[in-house]
Amino acid sequence: MSLAGKTALVTGGARGIGLGIAQRLAADGAQIALVDLNADQLTEAASGFTGTKVITIAADVTDRQQVIDAIDQTAAQLGGFDIMVNNAGIAQVQPIAQITDVEMDRVFAVNVKGVLWGIQAAAARFKKDGTRGKIISAASIAAHEGFPMLGAYCSTKFAVRALTQVAAKEFAGDGITVNAYCPGVVGTDMWTEIDARFAKLTGAEIGATFDKFVGSIALGRAQTPQDVASLVSYLAGPDSDYMTGQSILIDGGMVYH
């Protein structure tokens, strides 16, 4: 997929799935803005790119103004803005009975409000510039099915599906498409954290929860950021121009809808 002449902003781009997506879009020819909370990891991530222009922006997606500023900075420094990837997200592991007010607010602030601010700010900028832009957000298998101990997290990802459908309908007239990707079990730092939380809460061995989830994948292996990035590459390019409002499962065969 050629994305030559396009500029993509990827939140949570300093590591994991976000970095994998940024590397793939760069290989497709796009200029990249990596946005993340973690400034040190951003610098390290950016040093791995060659052959395309990459900028880094330290920002917190829970802060609406910081998201708007990150898009403005991207357009100013890279000379355009065409693709918004709302990838930043955090995990939360707790049985329903023990989810606290503070934890629910924390996970909604990043996974839902962070995506909403990204959709809002990107659509506003695309409309201002007359760009037929692409907005692509991170959902999950947890946006299609509830998993025990992941109640707060699953509810955020169901919310991303809802925002994706509504935004797709509201911005279709402006030529803007809005879609989401739904990975399964990707071996990133997030899953190390989820596995450790399950171990603490249930007494499972470290690694056992990850292995159990991977054991339910029809294709027989954990997912890589590159597996996810190939779908995002499609959603970012012209081949997906007739697709909008979709939250697409790419999980090696775990959840079937």
Ligand X SMILES: NC(=O)C1=CN([C@@H]2O[C@H](COP(=O)(O)OP(=O)(O)OC[C@H]3O[C@@H](n4cnc5c(N)ncnc54)[C@H](O)[C@@H]3O)[C@@H](O)[C@H]2O)C=CC1
CA 125/CA 151 separation, integer angstroms: 34
Task: Kindly tell me which residue out of 9, 30, 33, 36 binds ligand X, with binding defined by CB under 6 A.
Answer: 36
Q: Residue 115 binds which entry of ligand BUO, ligand X, none, with Cβ cut-offs from 5 to 8 Å by kind?
A: none
- Residue 45 within binding range of ligand BUO, rule CB under 6 A: no
> Are the beta carbons of 57 and 35 closer than 8 angstroms?
yes
Q: Is 107 annotated as a binding residue?
A: no
CB of 174 to ligand BUO, least distance (A): 30
Nearest residue relative to ligand X (C-beta): 89
Which of residues 3, 30, 149, 186 is near ligand X by CB under 6 A?
A: 186
Cα–Cα distance measured from residue 218 to residue 9, given in angstroms and rounded to the nearest whole number: 33
Neighbours of 76 (CB within 10 A): 11
**Is 211 annotated in some ligand binding site?**
no
For the record, the structure tokens of 194 come out as 């989820």
169 known ligand binder: no
Please say if 153 is a catalytic residue. yes
Please identify the residue of the shown chain whose CB is closest to the bound ligand BUO: 140
To the question of whether residue 63 is assigned a binding role by annotation, the answer is no
Q: Judged by CB under 6 A, does residue 140 bind ligand BUO?
A: yes
Give Cβ neighbours of residue 66 (< 8 Å, ≥ 6 apart): 59, 60
In whole angstroms, give the CA distance from residue 225 to residue 234: 15
205: three-class secondary structure by DSSP: coil
What is the binding site for ligand X (CB under 6 A)? 11-12, 14-18, 36-38, 60-62, 87-90, 110, 114, 138, 140, 183, 185-186, 188-191
Show which residues are catalytic.
153
